Copies of this chain bind each other. A is one copy, B any other.
């Protein structure tokens, strides 16, 4: 990021970046905990995940206020304007990820009430690990303003989507074999859906980073097309 005549402006943008990374850290931990809670049917951990919601919401609102203030007082242009606009979008995706982690935690609580599901835990563990890695990488890509690393995250999302489809097919067969377990299996289905959605939000954040660093709007674009546009830029 270039240096500005106003040092206060530089420190405003630096503060914004730190706040995003802090919020990202909180949400990342929420995701790790929620996946662990459902895998190990740990009700206490699931309740802890739910208790973090207010903190995440406050951070989103505060970050948005800071962005609005910077827009109103500093009237940023070019890459600084892209930075501020990307941050408002990223925080929204981070907050949604936190929402999905909460849904996973709620499913963990439901499973601890109703008894464990007959299967699907392997998919939760596997997809959970993939998505945790995406979230960690995308925060790292933002910290370094690294468009290539962001592109890797977009790539990983297609793998998550494939795993999700195959997990769903497997799980429908569990339900058919043991219809009495349907209620409990539905909890696993909703948890897998939330994990898949977290992957989508990580991909969205990756797209915001590519916009921020390269000035390219790559939403609604396939990974292959993004690669081509990045090579040209």
Contact = CB atoms under 8 A, between A and B. Distances in A.
Contacts of A217: 61, 64-65
A180 interface: yes
A168 B180 CA distance: 16
A176 B92 CA distance: 38
Interface string A71-87: 11001011001100100
Contacts of A186: 168, 172
A81 B180 CA distance: 55
A contact patch SS: helix
A61 B218 CA distance: 9
Interface residues of A, number: 30
Contacts of A183: 172
Contacts of A82: 68
A31 B202 CA distance: 26
Instruction: Name the residue in A78, A89, A217, A220 with the highest tally of chain B Cβ atoms < 10 Å from its Cβ.
Output: A220
A60 interface: yes
Interface string A164-186: 00001000100110011011001
Given A68-B81, A75-B75, A176 B182 contact: yes
A88 interface: yes
A85 B60 contact: no
B64 A72 contact: no
Contacts of A57: 219-220
A68 B81 CA distance: 8
A180 B68 CA distance: 54
A211 to B, nearest CB: 10
A180 B172 contact: no
Contact of A219 (B61, B88, B175, B182): B61
Given A88-B89, A92-B92, A172-B182, 5 more contacts: A64-B217, A72-B78, A89-B92, A176-B180, A176-B182
13 contacts: A54-B220, A57-B220, A60-B220, A64-B217, A68-B81, A68-B82, A72-B77, A72-B81, A75-B75, A88-B88, A88-B89, A92-B92, A172-B182
